[in-house]
Amino acid sequence: MTPTLTTSAYVLHNLGLAAGFGGSLFGRVALNPSARLINDKQERAKIVNAAWNGYNIINAVGLGATALTWLIGRSKISGRSISASARKLVLVKDFLMGATLVSGVINLIGGGFLAKRALQDGIAMESGGQAADDAPDDVKSATRLVNWLGVFSLATMAGLIGVSTWLDNTAQASGKWKFIARALP
C-alpha cells in the first residue's frame, strides 16, 4: 500500500499538471477565438486579459506544486535505483519541467504586461491571441511571444504528462521500486 505522504505528493503533482495543461488548452482553443464575439476591440482585450490574468494564479500555483513535488521526490530518487530506462525518463522529465517553468514565468510576465496595457491604456485586440493592427509594437511583440510560449508550454506539459505516466508505469513494474517504495513516508 502506498504511504499517505507519497500519495498526497503524487496527487498534488498531477493536479498541478492538470490545472496548467487544461487551463492553457481551454484558453488557447476556446477563450481566445471566442473573444471575436465581442465587437469592441478594446473591451475584447480587457476581458481576455482579465480572464488570463485571473487564471495565472491557478496556473502558477499548479505548476509550482508540480515542480515542488518533483524536486522533492527527485532529490531522493534519481531513477537509477529502478532501471537504466527510468533514469533516462527522469532526465527527460527534468528537462521538460525546467522548460515548462521557464516558459511559464516568462508568460506570466508577458501576460501581466498585456493585462496592464489592456486595462490602463485600452489596447485593441483582434482576438484573444492577436493584437489589432493599430496596437503599439511592444504589445504586438508581447502578444506574439506569449502565444508562442503558450504553444511551447502546452507541448512541454503534454510531454510531462506522458513522461510521468511512462515513468510511473516503469516504476510500478520494478521489483526494486516496490522495495524502495515501502520505505517512503
According to the model, what pLDDT value does residue 151 have? 94
Residues pairing with 131 in the sheet: 125
The predicted structure's pLDDT at residue 117: 86
Extract the C-alpha cell encoding 15: 493536479
What pLDDT does 79 receive? 58
Over the stretch 64-106, which tens digit does the pLDDT of each residue have? 999 998 888 777 766 556 677 778 888 999 999 999 999 999 9
Task: Give the count of beta carbons closer than 10 Å to the beta carbon of residue 55.
Answer: 19
Exposed e or buried b per residue across 123-155, where buried means at least 16 C-beta atoms within 10 angstroms of its C-beta: bbbbbbbbbbeebeeebbebbebbbebbebbbe
For the chain, which ranges sit under pLDDT 50?
A: 1
The predicted model scores a pTM of 0.82
Supply the pLDDT for residue 115: 85
C-alpha to C-alpha distance for 179 and 183, rounded to whole angstroms: 7
pLDDT of residue 129: 85
pLDDT of residue 130: 87
**How confident is the model at residue 183, as a pLDDT?**
53
pLDDT at 1: 40
Residue 157 is predicted with a pLDDT of 95
Q: DSSP for 100-150?
A: HHHHHHHHHHHHHHHHHIIIII---EEETTEE-TTS-HHHHHHHHHHHHHH
